[in-house]
Amino acid sequence: MATYTEDDLAKDLEGKEYEFGFTTDIESDKAPKGLNEDIIRFISAKKEEPEWMLEFRLDAYRTWLEMTEPEWAHVRYDKPDFQDITYYAAPKQSKKYESWDDVDPEMKETMSKLGISMEEQKRLTGVAVDFVMDSVSVATSFKAKLKELGIIFCSFSEAVQEYPELVQKYMGTVVPKQDNFYAALNSAVFTDGSFCYIPKGVRCPMELSTYFRINESGTGQFERTLVVADKGSYVSYLEGCTAPQRDENQLHAAVVELIALDDAEIKYSTVQNWFPGDKEGKGGVFNFVTKRGMCHTNSKISWTQVETGSAVTWKYPSCVLKGDNSIGEFYSVAVTNNFQQADTGTKMIHIGKNTKSTIISKGISAGQSQNSYRGLVQIHKNAENARNFSQCDSLLMTDRCGAHTFPYIECKNSTAKIEHEATTSKIGEDQIFYCLQRGIDEEKAISLIVNGYAKEVLNQLPMEFAVEAQKLLTISLEGSVG
Amino acid sequence: MITIKNLHANIEDKAILKGLNLEVKAGEVHAIMGPNGAGKSTLASILAGKEDYEITEGSVSFDGEDLLEMETEDRAREGLFLAFQYPVEIPGVSNINFLRTAINEKREHLGEDPISAKDFMALVREKSKLVELDAKLASRSVNEGFSGGEKKRNEIFQMAMLEPKLAILDETDSGLDIDALRIVANGVNTLKSDNNATIVITHYQRLLDYIVPDFVHVLYDGRIVKSGPKELALELEEKGYDWIKEELVEA
Ligand SMILES: Nc1ncnc2c1ncn2[C@@H]1O[C@H](COP(=O)(O)OP(=O)(O)O)[C@@H](O)[C@H]1O
Ligand SMILES: [Mg+2]
């Protein structure tokens, strides 16, 4: 296959009118549809990547070709046509932004439509934001301040250029490129993402935040996040996702790798609000994500997620508790409405001694949606005194939705203590009536009840995120009782 | 305050209320007594606006307005309060947050500003004292893990916070020991004024020793079949409801 010239690209750049949502009119620098080795070389060349990066991609691609799509999840969907996806779409902007003020006003407009007021966020919370649009990082703020502390927080591409030794050392060590179908795909075609490194003993003074957004029609989003917390350091990382409405299904296959070295702590919070499809179940994002953290001695990784979006979600943020005394936590609220399907949960792999894990999962199903918790607690032979506590609750808003729980336990050490609790309840007409009788209207009543139900998880989120998450829960469940 | 005329109501095609009449004026306390299954809770639910019932005939006017046309939440905001026979639990929602939301919804409805945090907390302190509700209960989740007696006291606490025009107490006495009964009654009596009214539903005379009614009504088979002064309660206690039944048959 011939390489694509700028002229060929130009043909693909014709602006389109969109029926739904809103799209930012920044000319896209877009690859032709389809996937093959040339496309991968194109992506790598576009990004001026070193040879080792291209090799990593090609190797992943060749592995991926041998793999088949997983089918064990409790979800049903038309499989994406991988030759009908555009794997590279970058906003056509050659210059990099030095400061927030340099960012294209139109892009800022996009962000305010997303309900993310950057100005506000910066002012009120001092959040440093790395904003990824169609997989290319466009703005990183607060860099200077972080730099003083030796903290690296930048786009993945920049990290590949500027900190190749760190990237090479850690990339693919937690989620190997052959890990699973979507992780392999991501490893082959990822276009950007975020990189974060906290040096030894440093406590990151602010929440680090990335917003992802799918903008271009027909594009897949394949971003990669790599967070390395060196010995004794601490970081809290926030990830928010959103996508405009489209009547086609868009694919999002991300990889997130966390590495907590000895005595380090990483707190990773996600609010995921990709377009869920319309009321009839048309469109929406396929969210197939691999997230995993590696815990070294005395370290801790805590995942908190509020999942309200996407047509199909397939996601299991996990912890490998390799070091002795390490701790893994997973707090999740997953809301599904209309025809959404979610199969989400976690894996806690206990390898070291005295390792502890906690799993709190709250599913909320409405409409005709399907919501599954799938979790694995694995205790290895040498994991003396491992502890796990799991609690999986399901709340049903209607009689037509489904909630399922698939807990797997594999225990090879008799000193382990594993506790599992599960409940299923239906939102009570009597609870709503009770609220109405006190003068609280139905919408507020549902919001109160649902947020009360999810409180243990919401309490784990940083303040400013918690407020946003509460609103999201309410919005996603509007008019959903029946 | 409230005038109920010839009220007929069905649930699943079964007639429960069969021509009920009742008038309650401001400043009055009315007791409604009657055997199990007579329709007492049904009446309370219909007045509060529960949707499961079909009203086939009759009218209810509340403060001059057509109550049956009002939304459930608006009835509450206009000052109708129901102390539930079986208060529900709302896990994860603190009593405080719940009540603050309720008060502010009411204030918004009445065109008032939201209550300040300071005023609200002062109100909580004052009213929780009234029903001797442990401050800890006020900040716990709504009714979650409360004992039966605590739930009932919490209902009266909410009533005190919301200061309704018309309060309907549905068997608030059941499951209460004598101390709790006294506390609940004291709460109700303290809140009593010339501008509000109370309907006390019970099937024991006992509560009426503490909350002295101006009128006692007997609800039987979907109708008020007998009304009288407070002494009627004693008579019922003595003779039981069979006496009423016999009277009805004779009539
Ligand atoms: N949801 C319902 N479905 C069918 N019948 C009901 C329902 N609720 C109440 N009833 C019936 O209505 C009648 C009155 O009940 P209720 O008002 O609870 O009586 P009380 O409070 O006086 O004991 C009873 O015969 C009861 O079985
Ligand atoms: Mg009753």
The residue whose CA is least distant from atom 18 of ligand 1 is B41
Output the pLDDT for position B1: 93
Contact partners, residue A96, CB within 8 Å, separation at least 6: none
In terms of average pLDDT, the best of A276-285, A300-309, B171-180, B239-248 is: A300-309
Structural domains of chain B sorted by starting position, each given as residue range(s) with its CATH number in brackets: 2-250 (3.40.50.300)
Beta bridge partners of B137: none
**Ligand 1 atom nearest to B222, measured from its CA:** 14
Helical residues (DSSP H) of A126-180, grouped into ranges: 143-148, 156-162, 164-170
A456 neighbourhood in chain B, CB within 8 Å: 92
Query: CB–CB of B31/B54 below 8 Å?
Result: no
Residue A435, judged by CB atoms within 10 A of its CB (0-12, 13-18, 19+), counts as buried
Contact partners, residue B186, CB within 8 Å, separation at least 6: B130, B131, B210
Residue A18 backbone zone (phi > 0: left; psi -120 to 50: alpha; other: beta):
beta
A255-271: string of b/e by CB count within 10 Å (b at 16+)? bbbbbbbbbbbbbbbbb
Q: What is the mean pLDDT of residues B179-195?
A: 89
Contact A452 B81 (CB under 8 A): no
Query: CB–CB of A243/A285 below 8 Å?
Result: yes
How far is Cα A94 from Cα B151, in angstroms, rounded to an integer?
Answer: 66
- Give the relative orientation of helices A51-66 and A37-46 as an angle to the nearest 10 degrees: 150
pTM: 0.79
Which ipTM was obtained for this model?
0.95
For ligand 1, say whether the CB of B96 is within 6 Å of any of its atoms. Answer: no
Contact A440 B90 (CB under 8 A): no
First-residue to last-residue Cα distance in chain B:
31
CA of B175 to the centre of ligand 2 (A): 13
A213 is written with which tokens? 């957004």
First-residue to last-residue Cα distance in chain A:
55
Contact B50 A444 (CB under 8 A): no
Residue B142 backbone zone (phi > 0: left; psi -120 to 50: alpha; other: beta):
beta
- Mean per-residue pLDDT over chain B, rounded: 91
Output the pLDDT for position A154: 84
Query: CB–CB of A260/A229 below 8 Å?
Result: yes
| Nearest-Cα residue of chain A relative to residue B109 | A439
Q: Which residues of chain A fall short of a pLDDT of 50?
A: 1-27, 93-97, 114, 116-117, 119-127, 135-141
How far is Cα A149 from Cα A146, in angstroms, rounded to an integer?
Answer: 5
